[in-house]
Amino acid sequence: MTISVLGDEDDGLLYRCAGSKADRMLFRFGGKAFFAVVGVFIKSALTAEQCVSTKGQKRMKKKILRTASFALATALSLSVCVSAFVSDGTNNNVTTSVLPDSADNAVLNWATKVGKSWNDGPSPVAIVGDDIVYTSGDKLMRMNKETGVVDSVVGQRAGTNSYAIQPVTYADGMIFSAFNGGIQAFDADTLESLWVYKDSVGGQSVSPIYYNDGCIYTGFCNYGSGKNDQYVCIDVKDEDPDTTDEEKSPKWTFTNKSGFYWAGAYATDDFVVLGMENAKANTTDPARIVTLDKNSGSVIDTEYTVGGGVRSTISYDKDTDAYYFTSNGGYFYKATIDDEGNFTKLDSIALGGASTSTPTVLNGRAYVGVNGSGWGNYKGSAIAVIDLDSFEIAYKAETKGYPQTSGLGVVNENGYNYVYFSENASAGAIRYVKDKKGVTEVLDAQIVNGKKTAPSLFAPSGAQAQYAIADLVADENGTIYFKNDSGYIMAVGSEAEKLVTENAKTVCKEGEAYDASDLKVYAVLKNGVKKDVTDYVTIDDTALTADDDFVTVTYKYGMYRDKTNEGAANTTGVAVSPVEATIDVTVLAAEDYD
């Protein structure tokens, strides 16, 4: 089966509708080094003209976009776009969606291979409207988040990355993508370049791109070069809409003796909080955290860490009015800062291993990934759960490998925090902790090698199994999206429990196939979400006979899943069965029907 996205030039429908700027809602959340910005827009009735921004219309005069028909993915997961993310700007990777809470109700909906090798594999992903947006080599690309089908429209990047470890950032109708030594802005509708920033010092672009109040913030890293590396603030405005490669200048720059490696900022109305490497890369020498004037980039105040470079984004918690981060030297930090940007206190906890996770803060607890004693399996790597009232580690949930990203957090209906991490180990499983205030041990633990480990939600199998360093992001249906070193982008969603039909025709004509023209079919997921899957079900199209008293509707979704084994490791790669529903019908002879 094939579908045509929009048609060709002769149709006159050349625009790919991604929603006008007025229809978009921006939801920011950060993670570790892998800061992600998610844009979600409400579906509405739009004309072709409304589907393209004014800037996009100008560019259409210079470039006609063509879209192509493409084969549907085997496994599909349909949804309606609504707001799902907490839009509080705290850099907490938190969703209000209902996520799968065990392997027994989580399914791999689809997996799409991107690129042929590590150098053109996908970056971590961001959600922009109905799409997954990512980079691959020198291209900016997107795919339908419900099907995994890659869009034919691509953006041409001005460069590539040494390591594809940062997602793109979406804001103000633009997509911002880093390449070695620079940043490029694209129109979110057309994926056409708007402007290019080339840093005067350059280096690896491995820091997240943070957006706040019309500006983006990011840094560059030149290990061993002897250069002073730069962190920059760039006004995102496109001053020359008629030029696609105009060179941007920074609003301000801040220099440091060593690079900005995975470190991400947090901005208030008046100042920016930023951590960085120490003067000697990859050592335990003290590093700095600074506050910078938001308008000039000048240093307001400085504190030094206990040891090791800061390789996390700064997260802020409103309840404690404090800023949290981790260091590669193995510490968790809490900073308090006054209204003028001066540090009033900096507390730390030894984690027992390096951490690059941006803390995910929920209900008085913080969650970070911690490295163990080596790269082997079950060598002490863990998810550390920190109680913020006592400022102590409540417990650690051991993992197979090092969780280097931020956690994806949600609070379930019973008040438990569920926080999910990908782990940098073979297979790249998604693990989680179930936790709340007062809990002091791993709940629903799996016993592996005699150790209580964090339960596994899902582990990629076969061609999809590989190490993972990428934040998890989730949409309004509770579907989790991520990539790993296999080059696959994957969608793990809630299991479909049943199908519900509406407007079903119950009186049919003998000798004709079932008429499904008015039929609506919905999949009810185990997390309670009801999704329209009308376009993705199959119905027997053979001619009906007088003996037929029902027709079967089949929804083929999902590739495979994990199965829990009480207390022990999951069984992986379990096949997923289709979901079916029947419609009772009465088949009349032609003369009676007419």
pTM of the model: 0.84
| 472: its two tokens | 């998890």
Quick one: pLDDT at residue 23? 30
Listed residue (179, 123, 185, 78) closest to 473, CA to CA: 123
Q: What is the pLDDT of residue 282?
A: 55
- pLDDT for 391 equals 98
Residue ranges per structural domain of the chain: 71-494, 497-593
Give the tens place of pLDDT for each residue, 148-200. 999 999 999 999 988 888 999 999 999 999 999 999 999 999 999 999 999 99
Local confidence band at 4 (pLDDT 50, 70, 90 cut-offs): very low
Token look-up 């540090």 returns 343
Percent share of the chain, pLDDT over 70? 83
Residue 374: the pLDDT is 76
What is the pLDDT at residue 279? 60
Average pLDDT, the chain: 85
Domains 71-494 and 497-593 share a fold: no
Q: Residues 101-124: what's their mean pLDDT?
A: 91
DSSP state of 206: -
pLDDT reading at 404 higher than 80: yes
Give me the pLDDT at residue 47, please. Answer: 32
CATH number assigned to the domain covering 497-593: 2.60.40
The pLDDT-based confidence of 223 (bands split at 50, 70, 90) is: confident
Supply the pLDDT for residue 525.
97
Angle of CA points 253, 314, 276, to nearest 5°? 50
Pairing mode of beta strands 193-198, 246-247: parallel
CATH of span 71-494: 2.130.10.10
What contacts 574, CB < 8 A, 6 or more positions away? 560, 561, 562, 563
